[in-house]
Amino acid sequence: MTATAPLSAAAVAAPVPVIRADEVSLVRDGNVLLDAVSLTVRGGEHWALLGANGAGKSTLLGLLGAVTHPTRGSVEVLGRTLGRVDLRELRTLLGHVNPRHPLRSPLTVSEVVLTGLTNSVEPMPRWSPGPGQRERAERLLKMLGMGGKTGSRWPALSQGERGRTLIARALMPQPRLLLLDEPATGLDLAAREQLLDSLDALREEHPELATVLVTHHLEELPASTTHAMLLRGGRCLASGGADEVLTTELVSECFGHPVAISRTDGRWAARARRTARG
């Protein structure tokens, strides 16, 4: 096995795109999951990956999060090329929010957030956070509307509270990139709106942070979304500024169904368009 150079602070802070995926394809068991998709994300940009189920959204997010390697093409994350860097080390520099977090222990909210420093589900044996790290966890939870829940136990949290806790956890190592895989899954209307408000506040408070959010519902996009990519059948249908991509014509083509897209107070909505009956 070829040794890889350690990730220096200078390399991480270099003025390069946070993510650059160039013509990436992923083939698994003979099935093409992604086909020649390219994406560049820079600091302060907030991308949405949209498409129907099976379009390749979560597959692409796995590449961006250094979870898997592409079959063809190249992926650079924080200036380092997959295949030439230790993936475990690289993943410690990313914030990845998965609503299906596999925690089973009755940890408190604060304890869950602090596991973001060790990139582990459970607290690491013989490891203890310092006072500054505990203070950071409290600040993040307060910013995300969870300041009054720091002592609450994980099993007692609502799905929305869990989502905001996991965002705070992902932010503990101060990543330059935050990946959100369908963060509004299973949320009711009020919990979804609280989550989206928290994401808008987060992006305002950390203007250098880049985010990539996967969803198949336009109503789950925060108003602070700046860019979007539409995926269909593993291919990129459109990519660029959110207002140029999230149009009636392109979204209808992406989902294979006629819809009308509107935007009010920064938020998008989709509704079915009536078609003429023969």
Whether 163 and 187 share a structural domain = no
pTM: 0.84
Name the strand (E) or helix (H) holding 262: strand 259-264
Predicted local confidence at residue 174, as pLDDT: 86
Structural domain contains residue 5: no
Whole domain around residue 121: which residue ranges? 101-174
Predicted local confidence at residue 11, as pLDDT: 45
pLDDT digits (tens, 9 = 90+) for 228-249: 999 999 999 999 999 999 999 9
Q: Are strands 235-241 and 227-232 parallel, antiparallel or unpaired?
A: antiparallel
Residue ending a domain, choose from 174, 193, 223: 174
Whether 32 and 67 share a structural domain = yes
pLDDT digits (tens, 9 = 90+) for 92-131: 778 888 878 889 899 999 999 999 988 888 888 888 889 9
pLDDT digits (tens, 9 = 90+) for 124-153: 888 888 999 999 999 999 888 888 999 999
Predicted local confidence at residue 67, as pLDDT: 81
Predicted local confidence at residue 15, as pLDDT: 40
Query: What average pLDDT does this structure show over 194-221?
Result: 90
Whether 204 and 74 share a structural domain = yes
Structural domain contains residue 9: no
Q: Is the pLDDT of residue 33 over 50?
A: yes
Cβ distance 173 to 92 under 8 Å?
Answer: yes
In degrees rounded to 5, what are phi and psi of residue 62?
-65, -35
CATH code: domain of residue 48: 3.40.50.300
Structural domain contains residue 11: no
What CA–CA distances, in Å, run from 92 to 7, 74, 109, 167, 220?
11, 20, 20, 15, 27
Whether 170 and 183 share a structural domain = no
pLDDT digits (tens, 9 = 90+) for 45-86: 999 999 998 899 989 998 888 888 899 999 988 888 887 777
Whether 60 and 110 share a structural domain = no
